[in-house]
A and B are shown apart, each in its own frame.
Chain A
Amino acid sequence: MQSESRLSKIGYHLRREWQIYVMLLPTIIWFIVFLYKPMYGLQIAFKDYSIFRGVDGSPWIGFEHFEFLFSNDQFIRAFWNTIIISGLNLLFGFPAPIILALLFNEILHATYKKTAQTIVYLPHFISSVIIAGIVITAFSPSVGIVNTVLGWFGIDSIYFLTKPEWFRPIFVGTGIWQEAGFGSIVFLAAIAGVNPSLYESAVVDGANRWQMMWKITIPSILPTILIMLIIRIGNVMEVSFELIILLYQPATYSTADVVNTFVYRQGIQSGQYDFAAAAGLFNAVVAFVLVMIANTLSKRYSRTSLW
């Protein structure tokens, strides 16, 4: 009875607001074709897949790939690398756009503010390939600016990109350089939404700019910060794969190889699709659990959540 009335309710909405649903259609189709249909292929993670037999024709083998995965040192290493790089990204890369937005908010000179914003937004629009090229050049032992500057202080050239211990700082730093500016837009928008009379009231109460930032701006944009954090945590396992491929080399695999690059090498380069699918599926499950936890915690403690 109840389901019937719900169905008729949906039917009523569909008839009345069909234009809106038509506009929604392309997105739904996109999701079905590119995200849901491929999920059918996920079953190869549990099969001995061969391209000649196809997805349906390949025999089931249960968790064999996963057992192999967890006994594979390279995968374990890639898993921990992913966690560590993501952790660093979260630690340094997440606050960066917030700090940037707060700084922009304090700039009173309009032209200066706009110029500064444009400059920090730019790297976002540059292809990762070029970004990687710039990084490689900047850290080059012979012509790179970093080594040149180090040279002024009498420090010998360092082969940064071949040293495992330097890979993570360079990678995380590059990520901040590329995305912090663009990422600050959402926080700037949140700051712009703060009721100006809150600041005026605080001025009359005697607050200085620093106190206003801590006691008004940051608490006011906290819901935005939390939503962005949830999204970010959901993407923890999705380390910027292109940039890693572009910057790493066998010498730095020990610190640079992440699950996605591992999947890429196993799946695309070595043709072990089933094994790579198992690694990818594991990655997705971890990400799913993380985003669920983050959302639940945020909902409980701050009344802010994605759903």
Chain B
Amino acid sequence: MSGVKLSQLVKRYGDLEVVKAIDLEVQPHEFVVLVGPSGCGKSTTLRMIAGLEEISGGEVTIGDRVVNRVAPKDRDVAMVFQNYALYPHLNVADNIAFGLRIRKTPKDQVQKMVAEVAEILGLTPYLDRRPADLSGGQRQRVAMGRAIVRHPLVFLFDEPLSNLDAKLRSQMRAEIKRLHKRLDVTSIYVTHDQVEAMTLADRIVVMNDGAIEQVGTPMELFLNPVNTFVAGFIGSPPMNQIRAEISGSSNAPVAKIGDQLLPLPASADVADRMGADVTVGIRPEHAEVHSLGTSPLNVELELVETLGSEALLHTKLADTPFIIKTETEEHFSTLDQVSAFSVNPHQIKVFDIDTGRVLGQAGA
């Protein structure tokens, strides 16, 4: 089994640098998700690993082999495409067998391998059907079958679920997760959907504007985002970010939001910025409305969005939109009377107002 290593990987189109010298090491068996907004360079990075885009600078290593000049077919990777890339004129069995036939695998072996993969993916009853006669989820399974059947060193997924509806997407997400557990093949998965990233990944790579913002496990990214971009990208709804002024003392700093005061965790970085503006980040989940703790902040409730077991309270905190996520059970009837919240100071993040980088966090 092989890992994948990107060293100072660059992609340039003319003068435009779309991937800016990124470094990343994917361990063998690992499931890594590249996530970021459209145009952040995540798909381009994946396509450079696959060999579909020329590499402008740096190196891609698969296993212990630098593959910059290796043809896609010899890299031993398999790719699953967003729009499935199934051959409309071939039935499911022939679609799955395509790569094997191109490689001149013996007939009886092809048949055996296709049957095996179809079994894994639950496609056996559909082997004679054409893609046009399949549902979206089935097509996506065929696309994965094509990748699996070749037993590649690395799986590459390019937004494979974005053409599916929400329900099917969560089903397929679970299926991909199960499949990875079963096959245990190094996988690199590109998506713009942070929920997919959170649920599938061993590690998430957040990309923005051609560069890597942060690499970490889903919970690391959720709890300790290194900057406002990651804070705003991971989590649904994303972390609330409010402009505030630091005051108080270096041992007991507080954030001045409008005319309200919010206690902050003490740190040297925060103390250094006494009197300066910062961005304060509070996760919607961390705002407590039912048993108010110390120094509650007053908010103006605008809208309650009920999601079932949870509700989103759209409020305004010092004229800035602020979202609170809370449980509905037991409290549902009082939700529309919420006027304040409190938050554990240790769950508050403080970011530099200019660079957006987190303050007072080890390794940041």
On A, residues with C-beta under 8 Å from B are: 195, 197-198, 200-207, 211, 215-216, 219-220, 222
CA distance A204 to B67 in the complex (A): 13
A203-B73, A206-B73 known; A197 vs B83 contact (CB < 8 Å) = yes
Is B103 engaged at the interface, CB distance under 8 Å to the other chain? yes
Chain A residues with CB under 8 A of B74? 206
Complex CA gap A89/B87 in Å reads 32
Task: Give the distance to chain B from A223, nearest Cβ to Cβ, in Å.
Answer: 9
Q: How far is the CA of A203 from the CA of B77 in the complex (A)?
A: 11
Using CB atoms and an 8 Å cutoff, list the residues of chain B in contact with chain A. 50-52, 72-74, 77-79, 81-83, 85, 87-90, 98-99, 102-103, 146, 150
In the docked arrangement, what's the CA distance between A30 and B260, Å? Answer: 80
Known A-B contacts A220-B89, A222-B89; A201 and B103 likewise in contact (beta carbons under 8 Å):
no
Q: A204-B79, A205-B73 are in contact. Are A195 and B99 (CB under 8 A)?
A: no
> Is B73's CB under 8 angstroms from A219's CB?
no
Verify A200–B102 contact, CB threshold 8 A.
Answer: no
- How distant is the Cα of A204 from the Cα of B77 in the complex, in angstroms? 7
Additional pairs, 11, CB under 8 Å, beyond known A195-B83, A204-B73, A220-B88: A200-B52, A200-B81, A200-B85, A201-B146, A203-B52, A204-B52, A204-B72, A204-B78, A204-B79, A204-B99, A207-B102
Q: How far is the CB of A63 from chain B (nearest CB, A)?
A: 48
Top-7 shortest CB links A-B: A206-B73, A205-B99, A201-B85, A219-B89, A197-B85, A197-B81, A204-B79
| Contact status A198-B85, CB under 8 Å | yes
The contact of A205 among B52, B83, B88, B102, by CB within 8 Å, is: B102
* A198 and B102 form a contact (CB under 8 A): no
Nearest-CB distance from B73 to chain A (Å)? 3
| A contact residues around B52 at 8 Å (CB) | 200, 203-204
13 contacts between A and B (CB under 8 A): A195-B83, A197-B81, A198-B87, A201-B85, A203-B72, A203-B73, A204-B50, A204-B99, A205-B73, A206-B102, A206-B103, A207-B73, A215-B102
Q: Are B81 and A202 in contact (CB-based, < 8 A)?
A: no
> B51, B83, B87, B90: which contacts A204 (Cβ < 8 A)?
B51
The answer to whether B102 and A201 touch across the interface, beta carbons within 8 angstroms, is no
Complex formed: what's the CA distance from A150 to B5 in Å? 65
* Nearest opposing residue in chain A for B53, CB measure: A200
C-alpha spacing A198/B87, complex, angstroms: 7
CA distance A297 to B88 in the complex (A): 21
| B5 nearest CB across to chain A (Å) | 20
- Cβ of B72 and Cβ of A216 under 8 Å apart? no
A202 and B79 alpha carbons, distance in the complex (Å): 10
> Which chain A residue lies CB-closest to B89?
A219
In the bound complex, CA of A72 to CA of B63 (Å): 81
A211 touches B102 (CB 8 A): yes
Q: Once the chains are docked, how many angstroms separate the CA of A130 from the CA of B102?
A: 49
B270 to chain A, nearest CB (A): 49
Please, how many angstroms separate the alpha-carbon atoms of A222 and B87 in the complex? Answer: 13
- Most-contacted residue by chain B among A197, A201, A211, A220 (CB, 10 A): A201
CA distance A216 to B79 in the complex (A): 17
Chain A residues positioned under 8 Å from B89 (CB to CB)? 219-220, 222
Q: Is the CB of B50 within 8 A of A202?
A: no
How far in angstroms is the closest Cβ of chain B from A307?
20
Tell me the minimal C-beta distance from B72 to chain A in angstroms: 5
Report the separation of the CA atoms of residues A219 and B81 in the bound assembly, to the nearest whole angstrom. Answer: 20
Interchain CA distance A255-B263 in the complex, whole Å: 102
Min Cβ gap B150→A in Å is 8
CB distance from A194 to the nearest CB of B (A): 10
Distance between Cα atoms of A204 and B149 in the complex (Å): 13
Q: Given A197-B81, A200-B52, A200-B81, is A205 in contact with B98 using a C-beta cutoff of 8 Å?
A: yes
B81 proximity list for chain A (CB < 8 A):
197, 200-201
Instruction: Report the bound CA distance from A215 to B89 in whole Å.
Output: 9
Q: Given A220-B88, A220-B89, A222-B89, is A202 in contact with B102 using a C-beta cutoff of 8 Å?
A: yes
Chain A residues with CB below 8 A from B83, complex form: 195, 197
Q: Which residues of B are found within 8 Å of A220, using beta-carbon distances?
A: 88-89
Q: Which residue of B lies closest to A207 (CB)?
A: B102
Cβ–Cβ < 8 Å partners of A207 in chain B: 73, 102
Chain B residue nearest to A196 (CB atoms) is: B85
Residue on B nearest A194 in the bound complex, by CB: B88
**Contact pick for A219, options B85, B87, B99, B103, CB 8 Å:** B87
**Which residues of A sit under 8 angstroms from B146, Cβ to Cβ?**
201, 205
Task: Give the distance to chain A from B210, nearest Cβ to Cβ, in Å.
Answer: 21
Question: Of A198, A200, A206, A216, which contacts B99 at CB under 8 A?
Answer: A206
Which partner residue on chain B sits nearest A216 by CB separation? B87
In the bound complex, what is the Cα–Cα distance between A222 and B79 (angstroms)? 26
Nearest-neighbor residue (CB-CB) of B156 within chain A = A204
Cα–Cα, bound, A215→B74 (Å): 20
Residues of A within 8 A of B98 (CB): 202, 205, 215
Instruction: Kindly provide the distance from the CB of A55 to the nearest chain B CB, expressed in whole angstroms.
Output: 52
A95 to B225, CA, bound (A): 61
Contacts of A206 in B (CB 8 A): 72-74, 99, 102-103
Q: Which residue of A lies closest to B52 (CB)?
A: A200
Across the interface, do B103 and A215 meet the contact criterion of CB distance under 8 Å? no
Residues of B with C-beta under 8 A to A201: 79, 81, 85, 146
CA distance A195 to B83 in the complex (A): 9
Question: What residues of B have a CB within 8 angstroms of the CB of A215 in the complex?
Answer: 87, 98, 102
In the assembled complex, the CB of A208 is this many whole angstroms from the nearest CB of chain B, namely 9
Measured CB to CB, the closest approach of chain B to A182, in angstroms, equals: 27
How far, in whole Å, are A203 and B73 apart by their CA atoms in the complex? 6
**Alpha-carbon separation in the docked complex, A206 to B150 (Å):** 11
Which chain B residues border A203 with CB–CB below 8 Å?
51-52, 72-73
* A203 to chain B: closest residue by CB: B72
Contact B85 A195 (CB under 8 A): yes
Chain A residue at smallest Cβ distance from B88: A220
A200 to B77: give the CA distance in the assembly, Å. 13
Closest to A198 in B: B85
* Chain B residues within an 8 Å CB radius of A211: 102
